[in-house]
Amino acid sequence: MKGWSELLLLTGVLVACWTRTPVGSAAAGAVALWRGEEPPDLLATFSTELPRQMQDSIVEVLGEPPTSEQVFAPLTPEELAVGWTPAVRTAVAAQLGEEALAEVLALSARIEAEGEDSAAVEAALETWAVGAEVRERAVRRARASGEAEPGRYASHRRFLPDEAAVAADEAVEQSLALATVFDLAWPVDPEARVSSPFGYRFHPVLKTNKLHEGVDIAVPVGTAVHAAGDGQVQRARFDKVNGNYVKLDHGHGVSSAYCHGEAMHVEKGQQVTRGQHVMDSGSTGRSTGPHLHFGLRFKGRPVDPGPFRERGAAAALDLPEAPADPVVPDEAVEG
Amino acid sequence: MLRTLTRAVVRTATTSDRVAGGLARFATTLGQCALVVLGVHLAADDLDDRVLASLSWVVDQADLRLAGPVETVAGWFGRPAGSWQWWDALPLGAMSGWTALTVELVAAGLLCGSFLLTSRTAQPTWVRWKRALSVQAVVLPLALSGVLLAGGWSLSMAIEDVLPVAEAAPWASRAAAAVVAFAALLRFGLPAWLRAVAALEPPARWTAGWAAAVVLLPVGALAWIHGVPVWGTLRHALEAL
Ligand SMILES: [Zn+2]
C-alpha cells in the first residue's frame, strides 16, 4: 500500500513537472525530436510568454477594421446598463463573433448584478472563455498569494492553467486591445490630407526601402493636435529626428505618437483624456515642411493608423478649421 | 532439493527487496528533484516579469540619455537619424524569458546538487550548522525551503486543475490537492531539506557560496514571496484585527 501511494505521488509530481516547467518542456522536446516531431517552445510555460504570441492575428484585424457605422451603431439598453461602449461591443463582435456577443453581455449583466467586480467587461470575457469555476480558482490563488487586486485579469492570469490562459488571452486581452484601438480618434481634422501613408517607401538618403511607421498629415504650423484616446504620457520631449514628440500609452499594448510639434502641452507621466490638446503641430526635427507624423503601435509593433481616419471623422471632437496643403515626407522614428 | 528451492526463493525475495529498495530510493530522489524544479519555475515565472520591467526601464533611460548623442555621431557619418537606435529593436520579451530560464536551470541544478551530491547519513543539528556558518549555510536552507514550499503549491494547483469541479462539493478538489501537496512535502520535500542542511561543511571562509547565492537569493526570495499561498490570508487576518 505504501509502495503504491508513493508511486502515485511520484507520478503526480513528475506529470506536473512535465507539463508545467521548462525542464518538462525540454524532456518533451527530446522525445519529440526523437520521434521526428516539432519540439515545444522552452519558454511556453512562462506566463508572460503567452501574450507575445498573439500579435499577428490582431494586426490582421487592424488591417481591416470595422466601419464607422458598425462602431457607432447605437447601443441597446442592455449594453448601456453594463457600461459597454460602442468600441467594446464592436471589438467583442470582431474578436469573438456575433454569437458570442449575447453570451458575453449576459455574463456582464450577471457579474454587474453580483457586484463582484469593478472590471465587469474583463471578467465577463474571461468567464466566457474559461468558465466561472476556472476563473474563480485563479482569483482565489492570486488572493492567497497576496496579490493586491486578485480580481483583475493581469493579477491572476499566471494562476490559470496554460491552455486556459491562452484562451483567456484571446478573449480578454485581444478584445480589450481592439476596443482601445476602435476608440481612438483622429488627432486633427480628418479632412486634412494624408501626405505620406504608412508603409515601405524608398528612402532618398539611405537609398533603400524603409518602413514609414505612421502617417504624415498635412497641417499648418500651430494646428492643435488632440490625444487620440485616454492614456498616460509615456514620452514628451525633443529630439533631432522627431522634433517635439509626444507618445501616449493607451493601455493593452496600444500607444500613439505625435511628432514634429511646434510646442508640447503635456509632461511625461501625465494622464490625458481623449481629445485633449497635447501639442501644436509644427515642423521641428528632421522635417521638410509643416506636418504631423501620427504613429500607432500595438505591443511595440507599428500598425497603420490610416484605416481609423474615417472612424475618427465620426468622433465628436472640437477640431480646428481645415488646413492648407503641401508637405513632403519625413523620417520620424518614434520609439 | 528442498534446500535448493528454499535458497532460490530466499535469494529471489532478497534481490527483489533490494531492487525495490533501490527503486524507492531512486523514486524519492526523482520526486525531490521534481519538486525543486516545480518550485523554482514558480519563482522564475515571476522573475521573467521583473526582468522585463527592469529591461524596459533601462531601455527607456537609454533612449532618454543616448538618443541625442547617438544621433549626433550618426550625423558625422552621414547616417540618417534613428538608424543607430539599436535599443528600439531589442526583443525585450525574449531576452527576459531566456534570462529567467537560465537562472531557473542554474538554481534548479544548485538546489538539486545540494542534496544529491551528499551521503545521506548525518542528521542536521544546531551545533553542526553553527560550525558550518557561511553565506551558503544561510542562503541555501532559506532558498531551498521556499522553493520546496512553492513546488508543493504548484503541485496542488496542477492536481486541482485536472480534477473535475464537483458542483455539490467544490472544496473536494481543493482538499484532495492539498492532501497530495502535503504528502509530497513530507515525503520528498522535508528529507531533501534535511539532507542538504546536514551536508553543510565548515567553510574555509565565511563568504563561501557567495556565487551560488547570487542566483539562489532572488529565486528563494521570489519563491517565498509568490510561491507560498499564505500572505493573502495573513493580510486578511491582520486587516480584520
Ligand atoms: Zn512620418
Q: B161 vs A9: CB contact, 8 Å cut-off? A: no
Residue A315 has a pLDDT of 45
Cα–ligand 1 centroid distance for B94 (angstroms)? 29
B21 touching A (Cβ < 8 Å)? no
Residue B80: predicted pLDDT: 61
Q: Do B41 and A23 touch (CB under 8 A)?
A: yes
Three-state SS across B100-151?
Answer: HHHHHHHHHHHHHHHHHCCCCCCCCCHHHHHHCCCHHHHHHHHHHHHHHHHH
Across the interface, of B72, B97, B170, the residue whose CB is closest to A49 is B97
A82 Cα to chain B: minimum distance (Å): 28
The answer to whether the CB of B98 falls within 8 A of the CB of B53 is no
Between chain A and chain B, how many beta carbons pairs sit less than 8 Å apart?
147
Residue of B45, B65, B84 to mutate, testing the A interface (most A Cβ within 10 Å of its Cβ): B45
Using the predicted structure, report yes or no on whether residue B61 has a pLDDT greater than 90.
Answer: no
Q: What per-residue confidence (pLDDT) applies to B137?
A: 86
Q: Which residues contact B117 (CB under 8 A, 6 or more apart)?
A: B199
Residues of A in contact with B45 (CB under 8 A): 45-48, 158
CB of B63 within 8 Å of a chain A CB? The answer is yes
Query: All 3 cell numbers of residue B203?
Result: 567553510
Shortest CA distance to B121 belongs to which of B199, B68, B175, B180?
B199
A13 neighbors A4 (Cβ within 8 angstroms): no
B39 and chain A in contact, CB less than 8 A: no
* Mean pLDDT for all residues in chain B: 83
Residue B191 belongs to a domain: yes
Q: What is the pTM of this model?
A: 0.78
Q: Please answer whether residues B144 and B193 qualify as being in contact, where contact means their C-beta atoms are separated by less than 8 angstroms.
A: yes
Work out the pLDDT band at B100, boundaries 50, 70, 90.
very high
Q: Among B47-61, B117-131, B176-190, B202-216, where is mean pLDDT lowest? A: B117-131
Name the domain count of chain B.
1
Closest CB from B81, B101, B159 relative to A241: B81
Cβ-nearest to A9 among B31, B49, B97: B31
User: Tens place of pLDDT for every residue, chain A, 335 residues?
Assistant: 567 777 888 888 999 998 889 888 889 889 999 998 888 888 877 776 445 444 566 666 666 666 666 666 777 777 777 777 778 888 888 788 778 888 888 888 888 777 655 677 888 888 888 888 888 889 989 988 888 888 888 888 888 888 888 888 888 888 888 888 888 888 998 888 888 888 777 655 555 666 778 889 999 999 999 999 899 998 888 877 788 989 999 988 888 999 999 999 998 889 999 889 999 999 888 777 899 999 988 776 778 888 777 654 444 333 333 333 334 445 555 54
Q: Would you state the pLDDT for residue B151? A: 94
Residue bearing the bigger pLDDT, B160 or A113: B160
- Nearest Cα residue to A157 out of A176, A144, A142: A142
pLDDT of B143 reads 93
Å from CA of A144 to ligand 1 middle = 49
**Amino acid code (one letter) for B213:** A
Q: Which residues neighbour ligand 1 (ion) by CB within 5 Å?
A: A 216, 293, 330, 332
Facing residue for B63 by CB, picked from A52, A141, A335: A335
A191: Cβ contacts below 8 Å, ≥ 6 apart: A313, A322
Query: Domain residues of chain A, as ranges?
Result: 47-182, 194-314
Contacts of A233 (CB under 8 A, 6+ apart): A246, A247, A248, A249, A266, A267, A268, A269, A270, A271, A272, A278
Cβ pair B34:A6 closer than 8 A: no
Q: Are B137 and B199 in contact (CB under 8 A)?
A: no
Radius of gyration of chain A (CA): 24
A 10 A CB-CB count for A226 gives 25
Cell of A87: 468600441
Contact B96, B55 (CB under 8 A): yes
- Please report the pLDDT score of residue B168 as a whole number: 67
What is the spatial distance between Cα B115 and Cα B119, in angstroms, rounded to a whole number?
A: 8
Task: Give the CA count within 13 Å in the CB-facing half-sphere of B176.
Answer: 16
- Measure the CA–CA gap between A30 and A21, rounded to whole angstroms: 14
Q: Do B101 and A12 touch (CB under 8 A)?
A: no
The proportion of chain B whose per-residue pLDDT surpasses 90, expressed as a percent, equals 27
Cross-chain residue pair B158–A15, CB shorter than 8 Å:
yes
Q: Three cell numbers at B15?
A: 534481490
Measured in angstroms, the CA of B199 and the nearest CA of chain A are apart by: 24
Ligand 1 mean position to A41 CA, how many Å?
37
Q: What is the pLDDT of residue A319?
A: 35
Check residue B196 and give its pLDDT. 87
- Residue B209 domain-assigned (yes or no): yes
Q: In Å, how far is B188's CA from the nearest CA of chain A? A: 9
Q: How far is A299 from chain B (nearest CA, A)?
A: 11
Q: Does residue B110 form part of some domain?
A: yes
A 10 A CB-CB count for B207 gives 12
User: Residue B41 is nearest to which of A10, A45, A333, comparing CB atoms?
Assistant: A45
* ipTM topping 0.85: no
Partner residue opposite A20 with nearest CB, options B41, B229, B230: B41
Q: Does residue B79 belong to any structural domain of this protein? A: no
Residue A31 CA from chain centroid, whole number: 37
- The verdict on a CB contact (< 8 Å) between B93 and A12 is no
Which domain range does residue B214 map to?
Answer: 86-240
Task: Please choose, from the candidates B206, B82, B65, B28, the residue with its C-alpha nearest in 3D space to the C-alpha of residue A286.
Answer: B82
The pLDDT value recorded for residue A185 is 84
Contacts of A63 (CB under 8 A, 6+ apart): A303, A304, A307
Q: Does residue B78 sit within a domain?
A: no
Q: Which residue has the higher pLDDT, B31 or A213?
A: B31
- Class level of CATH domain A194-314: mainly beta
Q: Which residues contact B179 (CB under 8 A, 6 or more apart)?
A: none
pLDDT digits (tens, 9 = 90+) for B172-227: 888 888 999 999 999 889 988 888 888 888 777 877 778 888 999 999 999 999 88
Ligand 1 centroid to Cα of residue A188, in Å, is 15
From B26, B42, B24, B27, select the one nearest B149 (Cα to Cα).
Answer: B42
Q: What pLDDT is stored for residue B94 in this prediction?
A: 84
B93 and A49 in contact by Cβ < 8 A? Answer: yes
CB atoms within 10 A of CB A273: 10
A84 min Cα distance to partner chain B (Å): 31
Partner-chain contact A12 B82, CB within 8 Å? no
Distance CA A17, CA A11 (A): 10
